Structure 1
Amino acid sequence: MKKIIEINEEYACNGVPACDRYSVVTQIGVHITPAPKAYIKCEISVPKEEDLVPLTGILSDLLRRRIIANSPGFANIVAQVLANSRDPDIAAKITPYLGKCSIPTEILDDIRAHKDWAYWTALISLYGTLEVVQAQLQSVKRAFEKVPGVKVSSQLFSGPPGESLKATVISEAPEVLPQTGRPTLASLAFLNVKEPGGGHVAFAPIIPPSGRELYEWYLEAKQTTTEAGFNFLADFHLFARYVIAINLVMFTGSEQKEMNTLLRRLTDQTTKRGFSEYRTHVSVKTMCPEKANDVHFSEYRTHVSFVDNVASHHSFNNSAQRKLMMSLKDMLDPKGILSPGKSGIWNSEG
C-alpha cells in the first residue's frame, strides 16, 4: 500500500493527522521502515563542557546531509554519574548532596577524572547495507577529526547473508536511549536516585541547532538550576533543524515547591531568548501567554485542561493553521461528535 503520510523537515500540516488530533480512526496501511541489513551503534564523546558547540554543529550538519538518519541523543556528565549511582565509589561521593542541594562541580570533576569519562556523550546509529554503514562511519569519524580529545567508538551488527538484521539478537541489555525499536523502561531507574519513587519533570525548549546558541542557553539554565538546588541533567535530542534540549529535573516529595519555582524561572529566561517549549509541567503552561504572543511561540503539547488556552496562541499569519485544522475537522466530523475540542480543535461553528 502506498505511504499515506510523510513527515518532513519543512513546515506542513502533514504531521497533524499523523498525531490523531482529529480522533478519526480508520484501517490504513502504515509505512514502516524496513529492517536493515546492518547496524552500527556509535558513541561519540568529547572531554570539555564547551565541546557542546562543535558536537551539536557537526552532528546537525551530518543529519542535514543525511549521513546519519536517526536523531542523536546526548547527555552530560551528570547523567552518567546518576546512571551509575549504585557504584559504591560514586555513591559515597554524591549521597551527601542528594535531596539537599546540587552535586558540586568539583565532585563531578573528581568522578570524571577518576573514571576517565567525557563531559558529553552522544549516541547515534547507522542503518543500511554493510557497505553503506561502514562508509557512513568513516564520514562521521572524518567530521570529528578537528575536535581535540574526541573519541568515536562503534559496534557493528549484521544479519546473516541475504537476511535482515533482527533487533533481538543485537543485545539482551536494555537500552537507555532505544536505537533498535525495542521499547524499554530502563531509564525509570533514574527516578529512584534521590529517593524511592521520586518525581521528575522535563523542561524542554526547542532551540536552533546552532551549537553556540544551545551552549549559551545551557550555561544560563544550568546556573539557574544549580542555584535552585538541582542538577542539570542534560537529555538533548538533536534533529536536522532544531534541538529539544531537555533539562531533566529530579526531585523528592519535599522539593516540589522549589521545583515549581525553578520551572517558572526557566520558562521566563527561555522565553526572553525567543525559544519555545516542546513540553512542560501543567502548572506552568499558562504562565507567560502574553510573552508567547509577542514572539509568536507557544506550547507544543499540554494537559487537556489547557488545550484551548494554548491553541489561542497559534495566531501566526492570521491564525492560518488553526483555520486549516477547523476546516479539516468540519470535513471529517461535521457534527462535531468525535472528541469535540481535542487538542483545541473545534468545528467552525462549535
Structure 2
Amino acid sequence: MAQPTKRILPPLLEESTFDKVLDKLSEIVGEPNASRNHLYGNLEGPQGQNCYDDLWPLGNPTDHTPSGAVRPKTVNEIQRVLQIANEYKLPLWTVSRGRNLGYGGSGAIVPGSVILDLHRMNKIIEVNEELAYAIVEPGVSFFDLYEYIQDRGYRLWPSCPALGWGSIVGNTLDRGFGYTPNGEHAEQQCGMEVVLATGEVLRTGMGALSGSPMWALYKGGYGPSVDGLFYQSNLGVVTKIGIHLTPAPACFMDCVVSVPNEEDIGALVRIMSALEREGIVQNHASIANPYRQALSSEDPLVIGRAVGPGIKGGYATNADMTKLAKEQGWGYWKAHFAIYGASGAFIDACWTIVQERFAAIPGAAATAERHEHKLGGRLNAADLPMGEIPHTGYPRLTAKDFVDIRGAKGGHIAFSPLFPPDGKQLQEWFARIRPLVEKAGFDLFSDFHIFGRYIIGIVLVVYTPAEAARAKSLFDELLKDGVERSSVSEYRTHIHFMDEVRRHYDWGNGILHRTLGSIKKTLDPNGILSQGKSGIWTSSRPLTEAIGNTRL
C-alpha cells in the first residue's frame, strides 16, 4: 500500500490544534497507546502491516486513511476520549481489533478520522459452562476465548469464523458468522454494554436491571429492545456483549455432500436449507465451487493449476476448473456441514435422513467422519481433527494466505448478497454473474453459506494492488446487477460502498434510513462516532464533502 507523502489531518482541524488534541488523548491512555499518525500502533496485519488504514485500497490510496489512533483500556478512558472528541468535533472511527479486512479493515469513511481502537479491552468477564455463555470485551479474539475454555477444561465449543484472530464483539456486531450450531452470532448475542457519544453508559436487556443475573440469559428485557440499533452501527461504542455458546456434544459428525453439476446448486441449497429448518442439520452449510475446492487441496499441482493463471495476470476459467473437478472426482459444488448430538443413535438417524434426501440429486455423494466419546462424556474439540471448516469451533488462520494467490501484497473484497433458500434465484444469479467475473479477468471464488431461511452468496474477489481499479469496477457491476435484476443487495459491505448499499434499501422513500439518521442526530449531535458507517450520517451533507484541509 502506497503511503501518503503529506500528513493526514482530521477534517476542519488545523495541525496545531490536532497536535493539542493528541496531547490530551495521550494524557488519557498513555503516550504508547496513542498514534500521532496512522503508520504505527495497529495489530500486525496479514502481510506484516502495523498501520491503520484500508490495507487494500480500491481507489485513491488515502480515501480512507485515518490521521492517528487512540487505544483505551477501560470504559472510563473511552468516556474521557469522547469528551475530548465532542469538544473539538473530532471524528472517530471505532474498531474492535481491526480484522474486518475484506470490508475496509481499520480504514475510515471520513479520511482523517482518529481510530478508536478497542483491542486493549481484552477481558473475558465470565464464562459459564453450565449455562453455556460468555461475556467478553471487544479486544477478545476467537483464539482468546477458545484458549480460555481449553485451559479450564470447560466442555464448550465457542463458534469461530474462518479466521480466528478477529474480535468476537466486532464480528457479532457486523452480523458475522461461525460454524457451530450457535454460529449465527447476532442471534446468539444476549446483553450489551454501550458507551454513547455523550459518555453515558447503557446496558441493554436485563442489564438495565441492577444486579440481575439474567443479563446474558434473556435478551428481551422490559419494553422496547435496542440491541439491534448497535449492529453495523455508529450510534455508540459497544464495550461488552454476552454471547451464547454450544455445549460440547457427546457425538459429532463432520459431513460433506458433493453434487456433480453447476446447475445442481438450486437443488443442493433447497434440500440443505430444509434439513437445517427441520433441525436434522444443526449448523449452517458452506458451499464451495471448484476453484475454492482447489485452494484447499493438498496436491501442489492442483493448487498450481488453480492459481497459476492469476499469478500471470490472467484467471482460472470456469471451464478449466469444471474439468479439474471431474478429473479429481469432485462435484462442482461441495457442501460442508455437521451433525451434533447427545447420542450415537441420534446422529446416525440424522445422517440417514441426510443421505436419503440428497439421493434425489443424480450423482450426489455424501460422506461423513464420525466421532463419539467412548466413555459417554463430552467431546473435546482439541482431541478431534481440525477439519477443513471449524465445525468444532477450533480457530485457525490458514485462510489468510488466500490474499496472495494472485501475487504478493494482494487483497480481497467480498460481495455478500442475500437470497431466499429455495435456490432458484441463487442459481439464476450465479449463471449471470459468472461471466461478469471472468470478463473482468478475476478467478471465480464462490463461498456460499446456506442457513435455514436465507443464503449468503459470497463471491470473493482477490486482487493485487495493480488490479484494484478493475476489482472496484467489477464490484460496482455486481452491485448494480444484483439490485436491478434480482432486487438483492448485500447484508454488509466494504466501507467504500456503504452509501451506495444504503441507497438500495429504499422502500417507503427511504424511511428506514431517515429514521436512523434522526436517531443518529439525537444520540451523536456532533457527529463524532464513525460518520458514514452503514450510510448513516449526523448531517445531511456528508463530511467527506468538506475535507479541504485534511492534507497539508
TM (norm. structure 1) is: 0.78
Question: Structure 2: how far apart are the matches of 1:223 and 1:190?
Answer: 22
Aligned position for 1:67? 280
Question: Structure 1: how far apart are the matches of 2:305 and 2:406?
Answer: 13
Aligned position for 1:232? 444
1:66 partner letter: G
2:494 to 278, 281, 303: 281
Matched, 1:152 2:348: no
Greater helix share, structure number: 1
Is contact 2:249–2:379 with CA below 8 Å preserved after alignment? yes
CA RMSD across the alignment: 3.2
Aligned position for 1:315? 511
1:214 to 420, 423, 426: 426
Aligned position for 2:342? 129
Cα deviations by residue, 1:153-200 (Å, 9 ceiling, x for unpaired): 0011122423111101111x4x44311111111111222221133211
Where does 1:151-170 land on structure 2 (aligned, <5 Å)?
A: 151-170=365-384
1:114 to 315, 324, 327: 327
Q: How far is the alpha carbon of 1:42 from its aligned partner? A: 0.4
Question: Structure 2: how far apart are the matches of 1:167 and 1:85?
Answer: 23
Q: How far is the alpha carbon of 1:96 from its aligned partner? A: 3.8
What secondary structure is seen at the aligned counterpart in 1 of 2:315? coil
2:291 partner letter: V
2:413 partner letter: V
Matched, 1:179 2:391: yes
Aligned position for 2:200? none
Q: How far is the alpha carbon of 1:220 from its aligned partner? A: 1.2
Question: Structure 1: how far apart are the matches of 2:309 and 2:532?
Answer: 46
Aligned position for 1:57? 270
Is contact 1:75–1:121 with CA below 8 Å preserved after alignment? yes
1:35 to 242, 248, 253: 248
Q: How far is the alpha carbon of 1:19 from its aligned partner? A: 7.8
Cα deviations by residue, 1:82-105 (Å, 9 ceiling, x for unpaired): 333862255257524545222123
Percentage identity across aligned positions?
A: 27
Question: Structure 1: how far apart are the matches of 2:375 and 2:411?
Answer: 47
Q: Structure 1 residues 55 and 337, CA, compared in 2 at 3 Å: closer, same or farther? A: same
Q: How far is the alpha carbon of 1:285 from its aligned partner? A: 2.6
Aligned position for 1:48? 261
Greater relative contact order structure (CA < 8 Å, 6+ sep) = 1
What secondary structure is seen at the aligned counterpart in 1 of 2:466? helix
Is contact 1:5–1:18 with CA below 8 Å preserved after alignment? no
1:77 partner letter: P
Matched, 1:199 2:395: no
Is contact 2:498–2:532 with CA below 8 Å preserved after alignment? no
Is contact 2:262–2:333 with CA below 8 Å preserved after alignment? yes
Q: Structure 1 residues 169 and 285, CA, compared in 2 at 3 Å: closer, same or farther? A: same
Is contact 2:284–2:451 with CA below 8 Å preserved after alignment? yes
Aligned position for 1:267? 479
Is contact 1:268–1:288 with CA below 8 Å preserved after alignment? no
Q: How far is the alpha carbon of 1:113 from its aligned partner? A: 2.4
Q: How far is the alpha carbon of 1:68 from its aligned partner? A: 1.3
Q: Structure 1 residues 288 and 25, CA, compared in 2 at 3 Å: closer, same or farther? A: closer
Question: Structure 1: how far apart are the matches of 2:228 and 2:282?
Answer: 19
1:271 partner letter: V
Is contact 1:85–1:193 with CA below 8 Å preserved after alignment? no
What secondary structure is seen at the aligned counterpart in 1 of 2:490? strand
Question: Structure 1: how far apart are the matches of 2:306 and 2:282?
Answer: 39
Is contact 1:234–1:247 with CA below 8 Å preserved after alignment? yes
Question: Structure 2: how far apart are the matches of 1:177 and 1:254?
Answer: 31
Matched, 1:138 2:352: yes
Unpaired stretches in structure 2, ≥5 consecutive residues = 1-212, 539-552
Cα deviations by residue, 1:75-132 (Å, 9 ceiling, x for unpaired): 1011012333862255257524545222123322332222111100001111111222
Q: How far is the alpha carbon of 1:63 from its aligned partner? A: 1.3
Q: How far is the alpha carbon of 1:23 from its aligned partner? A: 3.1
Question: Structure 2: how far apart are the matches of 1:224 and 1:24?
Answer: 39
What secondary structure is seen at the aligned counterpart in 2 of 1:44? strand
Q: Structure 1 residues 25 and 73, CA, compared in 2 at 3 Å: closer, same or farther? A: same
* Number of equivalenced pairs: 315
Q: Structure 1 residues 65 and 269, CA, compared in 2 at 3 Å: closer, same or farther? A: same
Q: Structure 1 residues 106 and 125, CA, compared in 2 at 3 Å: closer, same or farther? A: same
Q: Structure 1 residues 240 and 196, CA, compared in 2 at 3 Å: closer, same or farther? A: same
What secondary structure is seen at the aligned counterpart in 2 of 1:125? strand
